[in-house]
Amino acid sequence: MPALLLLSAVIVIGFERFVEWRYGAAGSIGVLLLCIGAKAKSPACAGVGATVLTLAVLAPATTT
């Protein structure tokens, strides 16, 4: 069980670092809000996080 928790923590932190590297601070904030909203079962917080993450992903495509 502890190995599974450690593995999942490593995967989550790795994904978060990848998003921050690829999409900047806005992407990191979006992932953070999405995770907090899912853990707290708050659809408003998760929705804001998903929207911020979507805008961070689509922003490079809309500026060129």
For the residues of 29-43, what is the DSSP string, one character each? HHHHHHHHHHHHT-H
| Residue 3 pLDDT level (bands cut at 50, 70, 90) | confident
The whole-number pLDDT of residue 63 equals 59
What predicted TM-score, i.e. pTM, was given to this entire model?
0.70
Contact 50, 21 (CB under 8 A): no
The mean pLDDT of 15-44, rounded to a whole number, is 87
Contact 16, 28 (CB under 8 A): yes
